[in-house]
Structure 1
Amino acid sequence: MNDAKRPTQADPMPAPVGASPKMRGSAIATALKHADRITRTGFADAQDFGALDRLAEMLAPLDELELVILFVSPLADIDTLSANAARQLAPAQVVGCTTAGEIGSNGYTDGEIVAIGLPRSHFCARVLRIDDLDHYDGQQQIDQIIRNRNDMARETPDWTSEFAFLLVDGLSVKEDALTADLAPGLGPVPLFGGSAGDGTDFGATYVLCNGIARRNAAVLLQIRSNCPIKVFNTDHLVPSTQRMVVTGANPARRLVHEINAEPAAREYARLLGKDPEQLTSFTFAAHPLVVRIGGQHHVRAIQQVAENGDLVFFSAIDEGVVLTLAEPLDMIAHLDHALTGLSAQQTPDVILACDCLLRRMEAQQKQLTPQISALLAAHRTVGFCTYGEQVNSIHVNQTLTGVAIYPPSATDTGQRS
């Protein structure tokens, strides 16, 4: 891949972790910095031939890890990286996905591999791979989810925290159905997740699982821990009084042909007072649409305008749906409040986050990237920018969704051998 594929963003990129002695020293220093942490994190330049060596150093000792999760820039050679990671980061299970940007040690970044390692002394995990999102057996997946939950409960009977993390091909258009299909198997276990990205190219997105990078696939991570956890979902958008009705749509392809009985892109632009020929990703980030589901408003973000004037969404939209134009609150204040709230009782060991690409675009457009990055870094947040997020049984957009993982209490000695 060449540099033309890199998303055109103004975000400052930290110096990559390379193979020089100085950079090797930086990797070791970072590892030492996190020596008192339960989870382990690693960061490397996605195009560095020694990237996996750097990550192995930062996550070491590898034989103590139950699971390694990789968030990989699409600048990487995905197939080669996936195969080598399964070998070089063994014996841990290795899963991950491609991104629309990463959240690293200093907040927003591009062109990196972000890794998080979960030690088996505090985490028990099962990996459920779903290879073909067009033809999977929903009941079979539910049955396996239940078996996995029962197996982990027998293996770690004194542990009480559970959550599920879903990584899914962000161009599969199957996230809505998949998330809903898996929910019955999880029962009360909270689920969150992110749709794999491809920068701002929307060409190909991949899910990585134990040596193979796959398209049209998903991986569900079921995790049990003695660490307290909190799954969260937040956005800074409030519905306005401006409503519109979808009068023509193809939900399976996430296409909206008509709004208010008019061509979709043209009517959306008219309601914004804009030229339909000037609609961009920044327009969609600044003027999102929401739909009311179960008493709450959820964003239904627009991905792009099709050549014929249809609107392509990140989520399924059906005819008859009432969409409401949303207005943003102060992004910095809202994020600060949300992350500070997660630390109200205890500081998280790490916050694993899925942040919608459109939020990052909004931050860039409003020149808030440095402030957002500083907040993410200050609250120990790592993860990736997505083409959509999952929370429990719903696929959503333009949110920050994730899990805060806290150190166990001093009296909790229920560790695995």
Structure 2
Amino acid sequence: MGALPGDKMDTNASTTAFALPGGQSILSSASVDIQMPMAAQILAERLGRSDLDCTLLFASPEADTKAFAEMASGVFRPGKVLGCTSAGEIDSTGYTHGKVLGVGLPRSHFRTASIAFTEGEAHSTGALVRKILTARSRLNREAPDWPHEFAILLIDGTKLREDEMMARVASALGPVPLVGASIGCAEAEEPAMVFGSDGTGHGAVLLQVRTRCPVRTFRTDHFHPTSRRMVVTRADPERRLALEINGVPAAREYARLLRLDPETLTEADFTANPLVVRVGTDHHVRAIRCATPEGALQFHSALGEGMVLTVAAGEEMVMHLERELAALSLPVAPEMILTFDSLLRRLEATRSNRLASLSRILTRRRVRGLSTTGEQQGGMHMNHTMTGLAIYAPGTTRGPR
């Protein structure tokens, strides 16, 4: 994947430490060009901590990710690493590309347990639950007086199984806040990769965290439902294909409702005109990946026959993001906002010349993270969405959300 139009491609390292009064660092972040020689070692030096319990690594796939992951697992010992390939990074300069971003969680404020799931365990509820509960129990014994916890799940999205996996993990975690992302897609040129301290090749890795720091999960997208609805009347759930909508070929009916030409539907059309599905009182984006030669629509998330989809209309992205992130700073600003941000948002911002404006907001609000091909909060798998976790200094009283 080359640099996206409008993305920055500087080779300078950037480093940020977020500290308590008096200089004690709670979190640290740094980024370097992924193609730099000894990138893992340079990143470790930039993070500047020897007491990291875990380092999150989000790496551009433009270099040999497997070699980088193996190097990083040694460089950051005895601390753990959890990482994946990205579809773009968010560092101290905002949206960027071609880098590896590191976020360090020090032992003074965080204790972590990392679980890599095999293909069999991912589909076995019993095995999955046992591993999760065992890890959570161990963390409770390590830090019994720390009142907060959260979890991050990274999944290889090329298997098209994120929805069921996320639902199983969320159920096993119970009340523990869960965020995360799916990485890569079946049509991507570069292979997706999720890695941990024990190497690469994992289908999914879950990081459970116990912390002294209050946390707040969030989910936001800038779309709202319109009155134009449609029903999936024939589908292939295994391949996430809507074959018919309202009883006619799906691409043709979608184009009719949007007043588009069904013969020339493009990725830009789907990005500008996503669909949403209602879950309870909320609406979640069900983004379209492509139209097939047979006239079906392939989606980024699960769907099935009988699903009611609604055409969505978008709000202005810059004002919306500023408002949503500002709400996370009430009554006080977080030390860092860790985010999983849809690649579709980045593409939309690039096409509308809003990338620089959004980057300034991300920088000012202390946002770090990556662009993804699927996002999650709790047991929900979403698209065209920003999800994440705001981390606050110990003793902070969080406002309502």
TM-score bin (small chain): over 0.9
Cα deviation, 1:205-247, whole Å, max 9, x if unaligned, reads 11111142226x0111111100111011111110000111111
Bigger shift: residues 346-355 or 306-315? 306-315
In structure 2, relative to structure 1, the CA distance for the partners of 1:16 and 1:7 (3 Å cut) is: closer
Q: Report if the CA contact (8 A) 1:129-1:220 is conserved.
A: yes
The verdict on how the C-alpha distance between 1:133 and 1:315 changes in structure 2, with shifts beyond 3 A counting, is farther
Q: CA deviation at 1:274?
A: 1.3
TM-superposed deviation, 1:31: 5.4
Q: For the aligned residues, what is the CA RMSD?
A: 2.1
- Does 2:392 match 1:396? no
| Structure 2 counterpart of 1:114 | 101
Instruction: Give 1:220's match in structure 2, choosing from 187, 196, 206.
Output: 206
Q: 1:346 Cα deviation (Å)? A: 1.4
Q: CA deviation at 1:255?
A: 1.2
Length, aligned pairs only = 394
Q: Which residue of 1 aligns with 2:159?
A: 172
Q: Could you tell me which of 258, 270, 287 is aligned with 2:256?
A: 270
* C-alpha spacing 1:271/1:148, structure 2 compared with 1 (3 Å): same
Aligned partner (choices 6, 11, 20) of residue 16 of structure 1: 11
Matched, 1:187 2:174: yes
Report the counterpart of residue 46 of structure 2 in structure 1.
58
**CA-CA distance at 1:199 after TM superposition:** 12
Q: What is the CA distance between 1:71 and its match in structure 2?
A: 0.6
Equivalent-residue separation in structure 2 for 1:33 and 1:293 (angstroms): 37
Give 1:308 shift: 2.6
Q: Secondary structure at the match of 2:129?
A: helix
SS for the counterpart of 1:364 is: helix
Give the unaligned 5+ runs of structure 2: none
Cα distance in 2, alignment partners of residues 385 and 361 from structure 1: 10
Taking a change above 3 Å as real, the CA distance of residues 59 and 320 of structure 1, as seen in their structure-2 partners, is same
Counterparts of 1:120-135 in structure 2 under 5 Å? 120-132=107-119
- One-letter amino acid matched to 1:330: E
2:69 counterpart residue number: 82
Distance 1:133 1:331, change over 3 A: farther
The structure where strand makes up a greater share of residues is 2
Match of 2:142 in 1: 155
Letter in 2 for 1:163: F
The answer as to 2:305 corresponding to 1:319 is: yes
State the partner residue of 1:415: none
Superposition deviation, residue 150 in structure 1: 1.7
- Distance in structure 2 (CA, Å) of the matches to 1:331 and 1:275: 26
Deviation at 1:264, TM superposition (A): 1.5
What CA distance in whole angstroms lies between the structure 1 residues aligned with 2:336 and 2:396?
18
Report the TM-score, using the length of structure 2 for normalisation: 0.93
Superposed CA offset, 1:325-378 (max 9, x none): 000112111110111111111111111000011111111111100011111111
Is the contact made by 2:121 and 2:127 (CA closer than 8 Å) also made in structure 1? no
In structure 1, what is the Cα distance between the partners aligned to 2:37 and 2:224?
45
* Aligned equivalents of 1:172, 1:182: Cα separation in 2: 17
**Residues 1:370 and 2:365 are matched in the alignment:** no
Please give the alpha-carbon distance, in whole angstroms, between the structure 2 residues aligned to 1:410 and 1:104.
25
Deviation at 1:151, TM superposition (A): 1.5
Task: Give per-residue Cα distances to partners, 1:108-142, cap 9 Å, x unaligned.
Answer: 11111011010011001111111216863221111
Cα pair distance change 1:38/1:134, threshold 3 Å: closer
Whole-Å separation in 1 of the counterparts to 2:17 and 2:144: 32
Report if aligned partners of 2:122, 2:128 keep a CA contact under 8 Å in 1.
no
Percent of paired sites with the same residue: 43
